[in-house]
A = this chain, B = another copy of it.
Amino acid sequence: VIIPTGQYQLVTAAMAMTLAAMGGSFVFFVLMREKVALRYRSSIVIAAVVVGIAAFHYSRVLASWADAFQFRDGAYVASGAPFFEAYRYADWLVTVPLLLAQLVLALGMTGPKARSLIVRLSVAAAAMIALGYPGEVINTTSSRLIWGLAGCVPFAYILYVLWVELGRSLLDQTREVALTVSYARWMLLLTWTIYPVSYFVPLLGLDPATTEAVRQVGYSLADLVAKPGYGLLIYRIARLKTEADEAELTSVGDDVRRLAHV
């Protein structure tokens, strides 16, 4: 495989930018957790954990990408060392269940209902990633189709839980919180459809260099929106819940003061 310099630089820059954004959002979530009430804080701490883990995996992806190609005669030529796609799957296996848990925790849900939601969403997310991986490794048209479609079954279940089950609990939330949760859900749905597109790009019959460039840039941009971008929506939900709690406390305080004067 020979990759033109422009395409190679684009992939490298996309990976580096995503790594930088993961590190930057890690700092943001760690420092801004102070503005989120303790009751919702696990959501923002998990957002920090997710982007921190992703930053580490991206540093490995970037090093593996640099290893897999050598600059020779004006282009980047496969060095023989394989590119470790496996780092991406290792990352997703840990971070995708955590992304779903963030949403439940930002809403301040607790007890058996919240635990059941988190467990079922996590298992489905892990199954979705694990089912996709064999197709990536075997890398034939039929295996990519079979394992890829198998991975869509838990994906459909996740969408069902987010829209139907979680949807019901949104009736108790303020309009602004419900709206932000709705944005977060759509962000998951839209960015998570970039992953299967990148996954199925090898079936389009493009030349190998373009296939690899499109896939890697696609995965990097999807991770950028799905982790730091989604994390910002989680932060906003946690802040809205915190503000609502503070407003309620203030009004309780006013009542107490009024009673004391009577």
A interface residue numbers (CB < 8 A to B) = 5-6, 9-10, 12-14, 16-17, 19-21, 23-25, 27-28, 30-35, 38, 41-42, 45-46, 48-50, 52-53, 56-57, 60, 71, 80-82, 84-87, 89-91, 93-94, 137
Contact = CB atoms under 8 A, between A and B. Distances in A.
Contact of A82 (B5, B38, B50): B5
Given A6-B137, A71-B80, 5 more contacts: A17-B93, A20-B94, A28-B49, A32-B42, A35-B41
A64 B47 CA distance: 31
Q: Which of A5, A24, A38, A53 has the most CB of B within 10 A?
A: A24
Contact of A56 (B23, B50, B84, B87): B23
Question: Could you say how many copies of this chain the assembly holds?
Answer: 2
A89 B23 CA distance: 18
Given A16-B57, A16-B87, A60-B16, A24 B45 contact: no
A107 B198 CA distance: 41
Given A27-B30, A28-B49, A41-B32, A56 B19 contact: yes
A90 B20 contact: yes
